[in-house]
Each structure stands twice: as C-alpha cells, then as structure tokens.
C-alpha cells in the first residue's frame, strides 16, 4: 500500500474514534455542556473563597495599622498566608481568555486584573527601602518620597504620592515598565515581611540568617519610623485594590446573573452575541491549563528559580511561602482536571473521557510526592530558597518536579483530544517560550 494511502487510512480511523469518544461532550439541543458546568461552578466557589479570604486580610491589615504590635503584625501575616491559599488555586483559571486576564473580547470589561493582583517579580526598591548589593540602605522610593514620584523606566509618568491611595497605586503600577509593580499580594508581602535575600549572593544570606527564616521587617517600620504612616496608607490601599478587583471577578462568575461571564460560558447570556461557542471555550480552557502548568508554573516559577539559581525568581521570596504557591497552583490545576474542589465532586471532569490515564496519573502521583516532600522540608528543615541551593539534594528533586510538570502540560493535548478538542504543542506553550 502506498505510504500516503496508509496515512489517510490511519487518519480516518483516528477521526472516527475521536468523534465517537467525544460525542457525549457535545450535547444536542439546549443542554449545557457538563464539562463547562463543572469548570464554571468551581470558578464560582474558588473566587468566592479568594474574595472572602482577601476581605479577612483587609480586616487584619486594618487592625495592624490602627494598632501596630507584634501580635497584630503576626495576625496580618497569617491572614496574608491564608489568602494566598485560595487565590493560588484560582490561578488555574488564568490564560484561558477568561475575565481574570482576557486580552480580547467583551469580558475584558472586568478589568483583567491578574496583573494588578499577582504581579511578580517586584522591583521592591521602588516601593520601600532595601539593603543593596553594597550593604547600603536604598532610598528614593514611593514610601520615602513625600510629594511627586518618578517611577523611572521607559517614558514614565510622574505621580503625586503625597497621599498613598488605591488610585495612586494603579497610576504607578507598571508605569515605566513591567518591573514597576506597585499593587497586589506580593507588594503587601514585601511591606509585611521585608527583604529576605542578600542581593550580593543569596547563598551568603546575610540580610536574614537561617534556612527557616523569611524577611524580618521590624515593627518599628510601623511605629517609630518616620515613614510609618505612609506604610500604613500603602498597606490599606493595596488591600482595598485586591478586594475590589476580586469583587469584580467574583461577579463575573456569580450565579443568577444572566449578563455575566459565567452565563456566557454556559451559553445562557441574555445577550446571545456574548455567548461563547462550546468548542472555543473548551479549547481555551485546555490550552490555558497547559500553558499555566508548563510555561508558567514549571518554567517561569520553578525552572527560573532552580536553574539559575535565584532567590529573586522564587515566587514568594519575602515570606518564603513559595512552597505553598507551587502546591496550591498545582491543586488548582487538579481541581479542574478532576472536577473537584475542597474534596467535593463538582460533576463531569476534563479527565473523565480519557481512556488510558496511566501516564498522566503516574506523573500526577510523582508530582504529588515531590510537592509533599518540598512542603515538609520547608516546614521542618529549610525553605524553598535553601532547597534550590546548587549543592542541596532537593535541587535535583525540584528540577525533576519541573520536568514532570512540563510533561503534564504536554498531556493536556491528549486530555483535550479525548474530549474532541485538537491542540498542538504550540497551544500549550507560551509564544515566547517556543522561541527558547
């Protein structure tokens, strides 16, 4: 038989098999696709949790700034760590052209606030003092500038920072370039914990000393320090912004609103022009999950840190909470893959149609083991920034973790195919990364 004939036959059989196995996903009539129902309901509850946890953070920051003590500072830090747990799981909704970060479509009307909520890494020198590579305290930042502030970078706009409000922070955020981050969780993290790393050499760890120590910002920064009130203003303004952004996203996923994004995803928006085609929606979801797990989590967040190695490139470098970021990011991915959230089953899952799950489940089990080990060590022995030291035995484990996460990203092609969606390698990688 001629080669091309063989190829055609294979492709024909392949198509038939895919169509049969995926037939149940695309229901006839007005029934809503069950995969999308599961996905959307998890989004509703996950973003609601993230919003509630952000509000608790806002309250604890208020308490702290009204009465700054060791105890209230500790409570604020605990609230931040708690808020990261639910928010980090929501990150699995990113990169799927949804309201959190859509770059096109009507749902950009929610403000696509991901960049304001979770921008990272920061140029923390722009926000408050740090100890630089020469061991000197830096100045000329937002906190210690009483009037007009120039953020620097490319074509920056000068901003009046005499009173630090949410509007001022929005005007400064990424003003002059992507590194000029002034909003979001990591800004609050820096203002609560302060610098953890030694900018000369993180292995020397001469700013904070110890494998189980994070940043040690003194309470005096909020009591007797000349700029104490400005830091308080900053904390409260940043928290207000997180809450209002999450309120916007939660409204996008709220039940009972026939005009929001959730209604459109489920094909029930009262404005039918806003409804999203099922196949398009699923393709965006599979593609987004693939990019998130492979390019964002595996590459940007883990590979950059462990392969350099660089404390600057660990996600929560001030609080040393990176092990939890990785854990909860992966949990968010698993929520959507298995259709579960907080141990509850939310219905038909993306993985259900996949016939042979052996390889994917093996990878997930292996990643779970490595993540558990990373968490245990971060609690009892050494934080993530010590685990990535070149001579630490964990560094190799974290590199393998990164490789396995990338392989899970590749598996999304097959999960998608089981559900009748064709993806290419290009669909599950960041465009910039393809060039690497």
Partner 1 sequence: MRYLVVIIFFISIVVNAVGEKFFNQVIIVNIILAIKSVDLLIDNINQANSTRIRMQFGNLVSSWKKVETTYFLGDLNEDYLDTPRYIDIFHGNNEEIKPQLDLIINSNDELFNAMYKYSHKTINALEYVLFTKDLSHQRVKNMALIIAKSIKSYLSEILDGYKMYQSKFLENEQYASAILLNTLIAGTYKLKEWRVGDVAGLSKKFKNKPNNYRAEYATSGNSVNAIKAILETQAQIINSPDYQDLGDISRQFKARKEIDQAISALNDSIANANNMSEFDFINDKGKRLYQSTNRLMKAYYISLMDKLGFVSKVLDADGD
End-to-end alpha carbon distance in the chain: 40
Judged by CB under 8 A, which of 150, 308, 372, 381 binds partner 1? Answer: 308
Nearest to 197, CA basis, from 185, 211, 215, 179: 215
Judged by CB under 8 A, which of 156, 304, 338, 397 binds partner 1? Answer: 304
Q: How far apart are CA 193 and CA 121, in angstroms?
A: 15
For partner 1, which is the closer residue by CB, 137 or 355? 355
Kindly indicate which of the ranges 98-106, 153-161, 292-300, 417-425 contains the residues binding partner 1, using the contact rule CB under 8 A. 417-425
Judged by CB under 8 A, which of 125, 200, 366, 368 binds partner 1? Answer: 200
For partner 1, which is the closer residue by CB, 82 or 138? 138
Q: How many residues in total does the chain contain? A: 436
Residue-wise over 131-154: b if at least 16 C-beta within 10 A, else e? beeeeeebeebbbebeeebebeee
- For residue 159, the surrounding DSSP H or E stretch is strand 159-160
Residues 387-406 that bind partner 1 (CB under 8 A): 389-390, 399-400, 403
Q: Which residues pair with 148 in a beta bridge?
A: 160
| Shortest separation between residue 190's beta carbon and partner 1, angstroms | 21
List Cα–Cα distances, 271 to 34, 268, 290, 366, in angstroms: 21, 8, 30, 45
Kindly indicate which of the ranges 3-11, 63-71, 145-153, 340-348 contains the residues binding partner 1, using the contact rule CB under 8 A. 3-11
Kindly indicate which of the ranges 227-235, 242-250, 331-339, 354-362 contains the residues binding partner 1, using the contact rule CB under 8 A. 354-362
The reply on whether position 419 binds partner 1 by CB under 8 A is: no
SS3 per residue for 55-79: HHHHHHHHHHHHCCCHHHHHHHHHH
| Shortest separation between residue 19's beta carbon and partner 1, angstroms | 13
The reply on whether position 361 binds partner 1 by CB under 8 A is: no
User: Under DSSP, is residue 137 helix (H, G, I), strand (E, B) or coil?
Assistant: strand
Secondary structure (DSSP) of 290-344: HHIIIIIIIIIIIIHHHHTT-GGGSTTTTTT-HHHHHHHHHHHHHHHHHTEETTE
Q: What are phi and psi of 339, to 5 degrees?
A: 70, 35
Judged by CB under 8 A, which of 151, 309, 339, 409 binds partner 1? Answer: 309
List, in order, residues 6 or more apart from 411 with CB less than 8 Å away.
359, 360, 363
Kindly indicate which of the ranges 140-148, 251-259, 268-276, 305-313 contains the residues binding partner 1, using the contact rule CB under 8 A. 305-313
| Number of residues located near partner 1, criterion CB under 8 A | 35
Tell me the HSE value of 158 on the side-chain side, using a 13 A CA sphere. Answer: 8
The reply on whether position 413 binds partner 1 by CB under 8 A is: yes
Judged by CB under 8 A, which of 226, 355, 380, 393 binds partner 1? Answer: 355
Residues 119-138 that bind partner 1 (CB under 8 A): 133
Kindly indicate which of the ranges 84-92, 96-104, 294-302, 348-356 contains the residues binding partner 1, using the contact rule CB under 8 A. 348-356
Residue given tokens 């909520």 in the structure block: 117
Judged by CB under 8 A, which of 6, 255, 271, 280 binds partner 1? Answer: 6
The reply on whether position 148 binds partner 1 by CB under 8 A is: no
Q: Are 173 and 157 in contact (CB under 8 A)?
A: no
Kindly indicate which of the ranges 112-120, 336-344, 362-370, 409-417 contains the residues binding partner 1, using the contact rule CB under 8 A. 409-417
List of residues contacting partner 1 (CB under 8 A)? 3, 6-7, 10, 13-14, 17, 133, 200-204, 303-304, 307-310, 354-356, 389-390, 399-400, 403, 407, 413-414, 417-418, 425, 435-436
């Amino acid at each position: 038989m001629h080669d091309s004939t063989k190829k055609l036959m294979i492709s024909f059989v392949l198509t038939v098999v895919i169509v049969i196995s995926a037939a149940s996903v695309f229901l006839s009539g007005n029934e809503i696709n069950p995969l999308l129902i599961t996905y959307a309901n998890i989004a509703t509850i996950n973003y609601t949790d993230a919003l509630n946890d952000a509000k608790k953070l806002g309250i604890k920051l208020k308490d702290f700034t009204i009465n700054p003590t060791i105890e209230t500072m500790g409570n604020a830090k605990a609230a931040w760590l708690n808020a990261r747990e639910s928010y980090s799981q929501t990150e699995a909704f990113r990169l799927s052209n949804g309201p959190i970060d859509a770059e096109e479509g009507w749902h950009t009307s929610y403000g696509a606030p991901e960049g304001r909520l979770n921008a990272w890494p920061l140029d923390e020198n722009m926000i408050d003092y740090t100890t630089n590579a020469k061991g000197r305290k830096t100045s000329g930042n937002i906190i210690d500038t009483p009037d007009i502030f120039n953020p620097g970078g490319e074509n920056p706009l000068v901003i009046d920072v005499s009173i630090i409000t949410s509007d001022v922070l929005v005007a400064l955020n990424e003003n002059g370039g992507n590194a000029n981050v002034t909003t979001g969780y990591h800004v609050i993290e820096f203002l609560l914990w302060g610098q953890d790393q030694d900018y000369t050499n993180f292995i020397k760890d001469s700013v904070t000393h110890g494998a189980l120590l994070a940043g040690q910002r003194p309470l005096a920064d909020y009591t007797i320090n000349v700029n104490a009130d400005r830091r308080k203003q900053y904390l409260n303004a940043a928290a207000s912004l997180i809450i209002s952004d999450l309120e916007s996203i939660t409204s996008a996923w709220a039940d009972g609103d026939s005009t929001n994004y959730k209604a459109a995803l489920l094909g029930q928006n009262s404005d039918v022009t806003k409804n999203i085609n099922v196949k398009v929606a699923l393709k965006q979801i599979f593609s987004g999950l693939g990019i998130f797990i492979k390019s964002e989590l595996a590459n940007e967040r883990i590979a950059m840190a462990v392969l350099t190695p660089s404390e600057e490139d660990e996600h929560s470098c001030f609080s040393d909470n990176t092990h939890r970021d990785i854990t909860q990011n992966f949990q968010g991915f698993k929520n959507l893959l298995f259709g579960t959230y907080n141990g509850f089953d939310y219905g038909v899952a993306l993985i259900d149609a996949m016939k042979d799950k052996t390889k994917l489940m093996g990878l997930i089990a292996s990643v779970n083991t490595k993540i558990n080990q990373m968490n245990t060590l971060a609690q009892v022995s050494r934080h993530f920034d010590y685990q990535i030291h070149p001579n630490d035995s964990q560094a190799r484990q974290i590199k393998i973790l990164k490789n396995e996460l990338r392989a899970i990203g590749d598996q999304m092609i097959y999960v998608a195919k089981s559900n009748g969606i064709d993806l290419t390698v290009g669909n599950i990688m960041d465009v910039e990364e393809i060039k690497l």
